[in-house]
């Protein structure tokens, strides 16, 4: 499978715990994006990387959230001191920088904060 | 006002019907438009993208853009129960996609 891969698919945690999600993009894609989607809403942009550089962060990305993309390959999204409002689907997408930059999405990680 | 607006539905149709899904957008800078399909508890899957005004056809799907009225449509011919999903329209705004809320479509056999 050469698509975008996300792990875990589902994470259940207690409020106050830290969680980390991983995204493996399509291998030749140099851009990687994180989005958050809540029930009944479209995905909302969180942040994106070009290679290893984090180029933009949304105001939705509070200081409890941090994302990394070491060596420009896979990326991790960490949420510290989780809150119930963090419960959502976290989606990763990747694209090429050139051309139309079509973004291809992974299956997402569903976070449930109890 | 959201930059991309969609009626959330649900839209219920019988199998074989022609489906019309619509979006409006407010940002005149938007040049590309995409339609993604999202099955329950799955990630969005790209269906179609279009750059200019006019129609683009791919099998049973036709995407239509009217930039003068800032209106985007997706038509599905001969709808199938397997088309039951949420359809999201989106446009790239400064490297990130701006999505509508999605329209939930239910096609009954």
- Kindly report, residue by residue over A39-67, the tens digit of the pLDDT: 989 999 999 999 999 998 998 888 999 99
Average of per-residue pLDDT values in chain B: 91
Task: Give yes or no for A55 touching B (CB within 8 A).
Answer: yes
**Which residue of B4, B6, B43 is in closest CB contact with A105?**
B43
Helix (H, G, I), strand (E, B) or coil at A110: strand
User: If you average pLDDT over residues B54-81, what whole number do you get?
Assistant: 93
- Residue length, chain B? 109
* Per-residue pLDDT band at B50 (split at 50, 70, 90): confident
| Greatest CA separation for chain A | 42
At B64 the pLDDT is 93
- Which chain B residues have a beta carbon less than 8 Å from that of A100? 32, 49, 51
Candidates A31, A38, A42: best to mutate against B (most CBs of B within 10 A) is A42
Q: At residue A1, does pLDDT exceed 60?
A: no
Nearest-CA distance B38 → chain A (Å):
10
Mean pLDDT, residues B23-43? 90
Q: What is the pLDDT of residue A63?
A: 92
Better-predicted residue by pLDDT, B32 or A114: A114
CB contact under 8 A, B88 and A43: yes
Strand partners, A49: A32, A54
Q: Give the DSSP H/E element, type plus range, for residue B59.
A: none
Residue B28 has pLDDT above 90, yes or no: no
Coil/strand/helix, residue A86: helix
Tell me the nearest-neighbour CA distance from B44 into chain A, angstroms.
6
| Of the partner residues A42, A55, A102, the one whose CB lies closest to the CB of residue B49 | A102
pLDDT at A13: 97
- Ranges B25-34, B58-67, B98-107: which has the least confidence: B25-34
In b/e form, how buried is each residue of B60-72, taking b as 16+ CB within 10 angstroms?
ebbbbbeeeebeb
Q: How far apart are CA B10 and CA B8, in angstroms?
A: 6
């Amino acid at each position: 499978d050469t698509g975008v891969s996300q792990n875990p698919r589902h994470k259940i945690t207690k409020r106050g715990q830290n969680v980390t999600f991983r995204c493996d993009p399509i291998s030749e894609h140099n851009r990687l994006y994180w989005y958050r989607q809540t029930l009944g809403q479209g995905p909302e942009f969180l942040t994106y990387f070009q290679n290893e550089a984090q180029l933009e962060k949304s105001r939705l990305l509070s200081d409890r959230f941090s994302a990394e993309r070491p060596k420009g390959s896979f990326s991790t999204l960490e949420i510290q001191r989780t809150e119930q409002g963090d419960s959502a689907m976290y989606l990763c997408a990747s694209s090429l920088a050139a051309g139309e930059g079509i973004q291809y999405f992974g299956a997402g990680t569903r976070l449930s904060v109890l | 006002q959201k930059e991309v607006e969609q009626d959330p539905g649900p839209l219920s149709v019988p199998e074989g019907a022609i489906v019309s899904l619509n979006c409006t957008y407010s940002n005149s800078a938007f040049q590309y438009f995409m339609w993604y399909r999202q099955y329950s508890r799955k990630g969005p899957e790209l269906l179609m993208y279009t750059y200019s005004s006019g129609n683009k056809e791919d099998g049973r799907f036709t995407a239509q853009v009217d930039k003068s009225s800032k209106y985007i449509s997706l038509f599905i011919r001969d709808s199938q129960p397997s088309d039951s999903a949420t359809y999201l329209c989106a446009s790239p705004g400064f490297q990130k996609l701006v999505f509508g809320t999605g329209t939930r479509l239910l096609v009954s056999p």
